[in-house]
A and B are shown apart, each in its own frame.
Chain A
């Protein structure tokens, strides 16, 4: 059995992450091209919404990623708290900006879809408000980390914040069932067949995988930068910089 603990050391993870970035980045690019092709050229015009519905090909994947990245970030934070592993906290910190970006894109594309469809960019309904809270949680995580000089203490404080914030994820997900929201119910669910045309669903799913690959690539690239910043006193980092010089 492979010794997975080996990769919990920043020194062994740094080159491994470096090798994985181009693969996930390449996969993201190819999947995006396929997804956009299906979304714009294969999927037909929606009978009710016209062409404005094409926004969902990025809105739904961005929204899912914003929630999923938060769960992964909180998972790394929990592992970091429990096992006191530096790399776990670095992974959590590497995911926060990308998660914030997807939360913002979810709100942005949602607003631009809402205007022609609902007649308004924004309403304070449960789904939209809880997604906005998610964006603030990401921003709060990053701000808290930046505000504490001692990195180890910052890691722990941020991990607690990330874990407390997890309560918001089911609120976002179930908000359309729990409350009477302007936002419609889920078009796609794990328990039943999607309530949309198969080709539209396929295009959306490809974009989900594209965003997934993108997020992994960017998070791995960012964790490499974080490793260099935080381990700058380590001998192997100096050897690396010396070899590159």
Chain B
């Protein structure tokens, strides 16, 4: 174990801004990217459903 206490861990031997700046931005990026990708696929599916629904309504009106 390298750290005597939690405070010592977060201090990173005086390099806290550099170490946590690196890890923080990396974590942020790797959490946001999958969310953006998921939103993109859901948006594509929602557009398809809207088109599908519109086509179905037109077909129903034509037969009514």
Contacts and interface: CB of A to CB of B under 8 A. Distances in A.
Interface residues of B, number: 32
Interface string B6-20: 000100111101110
B10 to A, nearest CB: 11
Provide the main secondary structure of the chain A interface: helix
Interface string A36-63: 0000110111000011101100110010
A58 B44 contact: no
A202 B34 CA distance: 27
Given A109-B26, A218-B33, A51 B15 contact: yes
A147 interface: no
B18 A52 contact: yes
Nearest to A114: B18
Interface stretch (A66-74, A138-146, A222-230): A222-230
Q: How big is chain A's contact interface, by range?
A: 35 or more
Contacts of B37: 218, 221-222, 225
A115 B18 contact: yes
28 contacts: A41-B1, A44-B2, A51-B12, A51-B14, A52-B12, A54-B19, A55-B23, A98-B33, A112-B17, A112-B18, A112-B21, A112-B22, A113-B22, A214-B30, A218-B33, A221-B34, A221-B37, A221-B41, A228-B45, A228-B48, A232-B47, A238-B52, A241-B45, A241-B52, A242-B52, A244-B45, A244-B49, A245-B52
A116 B13 CA distance: 12
A25 interface: yes
Given A218-B37, A222-B37, A245 B26 contact: no
B38 to A, nearest CB: 7
Contact of B44 (A113, A217, A228): A228
A240 B26 CA distance: 35
A232 B45 CA distance: 9
Contact of B25 (A45, A108, A113): A108
A25 B45 CA distance: 22
A54 B12 contact: yes
A221 B35 CA distance: 10
B36 to A, nearest CB: 9
A31 B29 CA distance: 17
A55 B41 contact: no
Q: Which of B19, B25, B49 has the most CB of A within 10 A?
A: B19
Contact of B34 (A25, A41, A224): A25
A237 to B, nearest CB: 6
